[in-house]
């Protein structure tokens, strides 16, 4: 039976424009840093999960699990908590310095969010949220027909999988909480937009880079041509975000932790933009096939002299310098190319374009890449 | 299938709103077939929306982008690109993301190639500093017509006879915040997190300009009308596009719309099930497209408007903004 320990703590986030922002997050261990988002909880359909919450913050904190039923505390169903007749938490909470332990048994596979149910208008934007992934009961990562989002026979096999959790940051809220000042949440005005707790260009950095101790999760999506890449979107913020990957439509196979199927009827669909609403989750398969152009089957347009073109206007590029897959060309001197093997990069971003800025400066915000590599280690794109 | 060759220039220009305010824009202008020594005459003549790109499924499309520069901001030497939004299986060189391939500097050309394999309603836009260039107006409509039209004659949204229609109209939604337009005209910076539009546009115009005819001489840079006219009983396809930075909810008073396509995909299940559905409000997010068909009811005027009422204004005054009319005429 998996046991997950979450410590509600304070910490400081980094944004790529050099800002440091006070936040609240869940840590994996007592001495570990608060994380944004909180640690991924990976559970299995039919297996009981215990989540122990230790609260080091100065007000009550709780965790609730939208989409899960029969969540228990001390062998009784979770209950809203009232103080002097006023709602304080949607579920049983831990007092400052206290603990609370939740148990539940996921009845069906899918993608879910977990978040604080205490003053969520403040605590969730402050960072007290994370992902809950429930594996199907027959899940087996080593056998393809059992490496699925929703179980064998549901046409949801995948080669690699990624979580992309949307959020927003209004620095005024964070500063007010840090200084113990009042803040009117109806004045909420985000200046940063996050994927997995990071703003672009930090979204493109690897997991666990040491200069982002509170933001361990990158958002680069990587795969090979033809592979089924499972992307799990979670709307953990207050606003809705239209996520648009370039290069291919995504096939939406699950929504709010439910397979899009009615009996024998497949209700999955393809979209080039998916509006991830607050609190919603989506499971999608992205698949890029390629057009088969090679130096022997050249592209039907002329590639101009690269000295006459704009390349790496921001000082960097994801391009290889060649139009061909797996081929490296020349990049002008002075431009840094992050391209490794001639892989193709497709942008994935919010199409509310102001959200791909950091406090108004492009590039930034809710933006990352899908990288299609000629070959890739099977260890990449594995959720841990 | 045909080979389509087009050439669009990137430049700047001006648009007007019904309250007589003038706003500086960036955009595209159609220079297909214009001799090389005359393309400079198109500087400063960007249109909102950019020219319609209309092709057939299976066509080979060569689209040349020429950066004509900004005569109103000669100091601004931004590069531009064309991104075909929603085109599946693109390769980066033609995807128009400058951070993942190339962009076109002033005085240069680049030819994009597309072979669309799926019909539907798409969008194209510049992807260079997209928060700025899309708001400034570098957005255009893009339709891929189905093969079925060639095989059967007639008009269809998708390769399915259930999507037949008699007329079609574009409902292309954008917003205009006057402040960044003013600041860019005057070489100043704008904080995009302060974005707060006061004009809401259909096909580049705000009501009542929306119901003026196409190519109205008083709106030289806004060539598209969104006045929709049909005879009783005709089937009309509305191609909704949202390329603003807000979510919109569009209604037509007195007419229900049957949504037959979303994001350039017909609403069919994997086993061919008919998943089209009736709607009284088209809720559409930034970057989405919706295809909806209605049958023109008895003669009359049927307003089309944004159910977010504040978007039916021009700088705070009503009526304005995202409103147009469907005028149904008695059958001839
Ligand atoms: Cu994009
Ligand atoms: Cu541009």
For chain B, the domains span 3-152, 168-329
Which residues have C-beta within 8 Å of that of residue B315, sequence separation ≥ 6?
B17, B19, B21, B178, B198, B199
A286 and A316 belong to one structural domain: no
A189 and A335 belong to one structural domain: no
Instruction: Test B267 with A249 for CB contact under 8 angstroms.
Output: no
Instruction: Provide the whole-model pTM.
Output: 0.96
Q: How many angstroms separate the CA atoms of B250 and B288, rounded?
A: 13
CA angle B10, B13, B19 (to 5 degrees): 145
Q: What is the CATH number of domain B3-152?
A: 2.60.40.420
Q: What is the ipTM metric for this complex?
A: 0.96
| Contact in structure between A41 and A51 (CB atoms under 8 Å) | yes
- Nearest in space to A187 (alpha carbons), one of A122, A137, A242: A122
SS3 A175: helix
A266 and A312 belong to one structural domain: no
Nearest CA in chain A to B180: A360
Mean pLDDT (chain A) is 96
Q: Using one digit for the tens of pLDDT, what is the confidence trace for A119-162?
A: 999 999 999 999 999 999 999 999 999 999 999 999 999 999 99
| Contact in structure between A242 and A352 (CB atoms under 8 Å) | yes
Q: How many angstroms separate the CA atoms of B311 and A134, rounded?
A: 42
Q: Is residue A116 part of a domain?
A: yes
Instruction: Name the one residue in this structure whose structure tokens are 């971003």.
Output: A349
Instruction: Name the one residue in this structure whose structure tokens are 């041509």.
Output: A225
| Architecture of the domain delimited by B168-329 | Sandwich (2.60)
Which of B110, B191, B288 lies closest to A242 in CB terms?
B288
Q: Which of B5, B7, B88 to mutate to test the interface with A (most CBs of A within 10 A)?
A: B88
| Contact in structure between B62 and A301 (CB atoms under 8 Å) | yes
All residues with CB under 5 Å from ion ligand 2: B 80, 126, 128, 133, 138
Strand B83-85 relative to strand B120-125: parallel, antiparallel, unpaired? antiparallel
Instruction: Test A362 with B130 for CB contact under 8 angstroms.
Output: yes
Q: How many angstroms separate the CA atoms of A270 and A268, rounded?
A: 7
Q: Tokens representing B19?
A: 């309250």
A107 and A178 belong to one structural domain: yes
A236 and A313 belong to one structural domain: no
A80 and A227 belong to one structural domain: yes
A205 and A249 belong to one structural domain: yes
Tell me, yes or no, if the two domains B3-152 and B168-329 fold the same way.
Answer: yes
Number of Cα atoms under 13 Å in the Cβ half of residue B259: 20
Which of B92, B102, B192 lies closest to A345 in CB terms?
B92
B269 has a pLDDT exceeding 90: no
Q: How far is CA A314 from CA A15, A354, B96, B99, B215, in A?
A: 18, 18, 15, 8, 39
Q: Is residue A93 part of a domain?
A: yes
- Supply the CATH number for residue A272's domain: 2.60.40.420
**Residue A60 distance to chain B (closest CA, Å):** 32
A178 and A318 belong to one structural domain: no
A207 and A116 belong to one structural domain: yes
Instruction: Test B100 with A240 for CB contact under 8 angstroms.
Output: no
Q: Is residue A89 part of a domain?
A: yes
Residue A177 confidence (pLDDT): 98
Alpha carbon of B319 to ligand 1 centroid (Å): 33
Q: Using one digit for the tens of pLDDT, what is the confidence trace for A282-317?
A: 999 999 998 899 999 999 999 999 999 999 988 999
Q: How far is CA B64 from CA B13, B56, B136, in A?
A: 20, 18, 21
B270 has a pLDDT exceeding 80: no
Q: Which of residues 99-138 of B touch A (CB under 8 A)?
A: 99-105, 108-113, 127-132, 134-135
* Contact list, B113 vs chain A (CB under 8 Å): 299-301
* Contact list, A302 vs chain B (CB under 8 Å): 111
Instruction: Name the one residue in this structure whose structure tokens are 């009827």.
Output: A265
- Which element (helix H / strand E) includes B184? helix B178-185
A118 and A258 belong to one structural domain: yes
B32 has a pLDDT exceeding 90: yes
Q: Is residue A378 part of a domain?
A: no
Which of B103, B193, B271 lies closest to A310 in CB terms?
B103
Q: How many angstroms separate the CA atoms of A2 and A42, rounded?
A: 9
Instruction: Test A304 with B110 for CB contact under 8 angstroms.
Output: yes
A205 has a pLDDT exceeding 90: yes
A191 and A336 belong to one structural domain: no
Residue A290 confidence (pLDDT): 80
* Contact list, B271 vs chain A (CB under 8 Å): 264-266
Q: DSSP H helical segments within chain A, as ranges?
A: 120-126, 171-179
Q: Using one digit for the tens of pLDDT, what is the confidence trace for A171-193?
A: 999 999 999 999 999 999 999 99
* Contact list, A291 vs chain B (CB under 8 Å): 89, 91
Tell me whether B263 touches chain A (CB under 8 Å): yes
Residue A264 confidence (pLDDT): 81
Alpha carbon of B27 to ligand 2 centroid (Å): 7
A294-325: b or e for each residue (b if 16 or more CB lie within 10 Å)? eeeeebebebeeeeebbbbbeebbbbbbbbbb
**Residue B231 distance to chain A (closest CA, Å):** 33
A334 and A356 belong to one structural domain: no
* Residues of the domain holding A310: 303-342
**Residue B60 distance to chain A (closest CA, Å):** 10
pLDDT band at B271 (very low <50, low <70, confident <90, very high): confident
| Contact in structure between B268 and A264 (CB atoms under 8 Å) | no
Q: How far apart are the first and last CA of chain B?
A: 36
Number of structural domains, chain A? Answer: 2
CA angle A319, A272, A339 (to 5 degrees): 15
Q: Tokens representing A370?
A: 């899908």
Q: How many angstroms separate the CA atoms of A296 and B63, rounded?
A: 23
B123-148: b or e for each residue (b if 16 or more CB lie within 10 Å)? bbbbbbbbbbbbbbbbbbbbbbbbeb
Q: Is residue A377 part of a domain?
A: no
């Amino acid at each position: 039976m998996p046991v997950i320990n979450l410590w509600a703590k304070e910490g400081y986030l980094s944004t790529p424009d050099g800002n440091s922002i006070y936040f609240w997050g869940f840590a994996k261990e007592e001495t570990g840093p608060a994380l944004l988002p909180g640690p991924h909880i990976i559970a299995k359909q039919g297996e009981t999960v215990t989540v122990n919450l230790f609260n080091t913050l100065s007000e009550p904190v709780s965790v609730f699990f939208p989409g899960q039923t029969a969540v228990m505390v001390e062998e009784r169903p979770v209950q809203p908590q009232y103080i002097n007749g006023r709602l304080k938490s949607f579920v049983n909470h831990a007092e400052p310095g206290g603990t609370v332990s939740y148990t539940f048994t996921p009845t069906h596979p899918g993608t879910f969010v977990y978040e604080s149910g205490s003053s969520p208008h403040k605590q969730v934007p402050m960072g007290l949220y994370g992902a809950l992934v429930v594996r199907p009961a027959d899940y087996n990562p080593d056998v393809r027909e059992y490496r699925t989002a929703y179980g064998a026979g549901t046409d949801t096999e995948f080669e690699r999988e990624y979580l992309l959790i949307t959020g927003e940051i209004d620095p005024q809220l964070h500063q007010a909480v840090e200084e113990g000042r009042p803040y009117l949440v109806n004045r909420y005005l985000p200046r940063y937009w996050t994927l997995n707790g990071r703003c672009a260009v930090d979204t493109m950095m690897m997991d666990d880079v040491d200069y982002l101790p509170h933001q361990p999760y990158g958002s680069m999506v990587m795969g090979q041509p033809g592979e089924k890449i499972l992307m799990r979107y979670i709307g953990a913020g207050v606003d809705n975000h239209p996520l648009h990957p370039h290069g291919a439509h995504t096939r939406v196979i699950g929504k709010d932790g439910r397979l899009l199927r009615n009996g024998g009827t497949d209700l999955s669909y393809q979209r080039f933009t998916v509006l991830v609403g607050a609190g919603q989750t989506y499971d999608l398969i992205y698949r890029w096939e390629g057009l088969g152009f090679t130096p022997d089957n050249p592209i039907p347009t002329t590639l101009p002299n690269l000295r006459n073109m704009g390349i790496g206007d921001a000082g960097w590029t994801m391009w290889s310098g060649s139009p061909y897959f797996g081929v490296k060309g020349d990049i002008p001197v002075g431009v840094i190319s992050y391209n490794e093997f001639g892989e193709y990069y497709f942008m994935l971003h919010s199409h509310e374009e102001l959200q791909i800025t950091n406090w108004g400066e492009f590039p930034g915000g809710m933006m990352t890449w899908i990288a299609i590599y000629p070959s890739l280690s099977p260890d990449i794109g594995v959720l841990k | 299938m045909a080979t389509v060759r087009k050439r669009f220039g990137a430049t700047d220009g001006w648009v007007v709103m019904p309250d007589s305010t003038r706003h500086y824009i960036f955009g595209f202008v159609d220079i297909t077939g214009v001799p090389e020594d005359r393309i400079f005459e198109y500087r400063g003549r960007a249109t909102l929306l950019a020219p319609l790109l209309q092709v057939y499924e299976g066509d080979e499309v060569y689209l040349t982008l020429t950066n004509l520069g900004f005569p109103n901001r000669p100091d601004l030497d931004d590069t531009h690109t064309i991104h075909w939004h929603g085109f599946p299986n693109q390769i980066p060189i033609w995807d128009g993301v400058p951070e993942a391939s190339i962009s076109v500097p002033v005085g240069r050309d680049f030819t994009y190639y597309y072979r669309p394999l799926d019909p539907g309603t798409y969008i194209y836009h510049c992807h260079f500093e997209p928060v700025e260039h899309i708001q400034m107006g570098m957005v255009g409509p893009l339709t891929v017509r189905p093969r079925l039209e060639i095989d059967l004659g007639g008009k269809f949204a998708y390769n399915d006879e259930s999507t037949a229609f008699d007329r079609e109209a574009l409902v292309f939604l954008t917003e205009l915040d006057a402040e960044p337009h003013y600041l860019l005209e005057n070489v100043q910076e704008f904080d995009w997190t302060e974005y707060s539009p006061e004009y809401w546009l259909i096909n580049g115009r705000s009501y009542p300009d929306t119901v003026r005819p196409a190519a109205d001489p008083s709106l030289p840079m806004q060539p598209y009308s969104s006045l929709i006219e049909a005879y009783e009983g005709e089937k009309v396809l509305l191609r909704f596009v949202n390329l603003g930075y807000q979510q919109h909810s569009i209604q037509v008073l007195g007419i229900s719309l049957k949504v037959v396509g979303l994001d350039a995909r017909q609403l069919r299940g994997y086993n061919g099930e008919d998943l089209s559905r009736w709607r009284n409000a088209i809720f559409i997010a930034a970057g989405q497209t919706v295809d909806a068909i209605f049958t023109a009811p008895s003669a009359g005027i049927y307003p089309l408007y944004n159910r977010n009422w504040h978007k039916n204004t021009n700088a705070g005054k009503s009526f304005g903004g995202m409103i147009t009319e469907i005028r149904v005429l008695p059958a001839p």
